[in-house]
Amino acid sequence: MSLSPFSAKPSAGERVNKDMVAVLALERDAELMLRVREGDSLSFSLLLEKHRGPVIHFLYRMVLNQAIAEELAQEVFLRVYRSRATYEPTAKFTTWLFRIATHLALNSIRDGRNEKLQESLDREVVDGPVRQVATGEPNVEQLLVRQARLLEVRQAIESLPAKQRAAVLMHKYDEMEYSQIAGVLNCSESAVKSLLFRAYEALRARLAHMA
């Protein structure tokens, strides 16, 4: 067993640079939103271009339905646009954005809205995106193994309570810090840690055989 799961670790300098870039990006988002408030539609387009991908993917993994995820993502950006006049950069833009997205996703799950349009998990796996193997086209066996694994991952995520699911998705796929997840879920950092530990524990139990 390899003791170090990841061979390349960021140096302190790289981390500082990454943090600086992150801070500048955050300030840029808030600045763009303030310009949207002044009526600059180009700034809204820039924000949309930057954040629509993460928002759509987050919503898709939350509600597990592509059509509903896209509809909810439209609603998220429509709400951002509607709120432009009252926007104040008191929190990070992404925290605010994901708070809207999480709110809509949790409502959708609670209302059982996605049940009506729930596509078969099996069908979606077949129709879903398939990662290409870098060395060439995957053969049928590789595709089937991959689809089976993806199905297991989806089912494992689906089995989590909605708030734990949201916390894991933001932590894993959006690389958010505990404080930011806490801001989105409107709870304390220790509550977020507790949510994440329980969620990863459940996932470890469900996905243990996938080694």
Partner 1 sequence: MRCPMEAREGAELVLAYCSRRLDPDKSEWFERHLAACVSCQETVAAQKQVWEALDYWDALPIPRDFDRRLEWRIEAEERKPWSQRLTGLRLTGWLRPAIPIASMAALALAVFLVRTPDPPDTDFQARTETTEVEQAERALEDLEMIRQFTLPPREANARNPI
Structure tokens belonging to residue 182 = 């806490």
What angle is formed at CA 194 by the lines to CA 113 and CA 16, rounded to 5 degrees?
A: 100
Taking the complex as a whole, how short is the minimal distance between the CB of residue 177 and partner 1, in angstroms?
8
Return the number of the residue (60 or 98) whose C-beta is nearest partner 1.
60
Whether residue 95 contacts residue 22, with contact meaning beta carbons closer than 8 Å, is answered with: no
In the bound complex, what is the minimum distance in angstroms from residue 165's beta carbon to partner 1? 12
Residue 29: CB minimum distance to partner 1, A: 18
DSSP string, 86-104: G--TTS-HHHHHHHHHHHH
For the chain, how big is the Rg over CA atoms in Å?
Answer: 19
Amino acid (one-letter) located at 202 = A
Shorter beta-carbon distance to partner 1: residue 92 or 171: 171
Nearer to partner 1, 91 or 202 (CB): 202
Q: Which residues bind partner 1 (CB under 8 A)?
A: 1, 3-6, 9-12, 15, 45, 48-49, 52-53, 56-57, 60-61, 66, 69-70, 73-74, 77-78, 81-82, 107, 128-131, 146, 149-150, 152-154, 156-157, 171-173, 175, 177, 193, 196-197, 200, 203-204, 207-208, 210-211
19-45 burial string, b = 16+ CB within 10 Å, else e?
A: eeeeeeeeeebbebbebbbeeeeebbe
Least Å distance between CB 26 and partner 1? Answer: 18
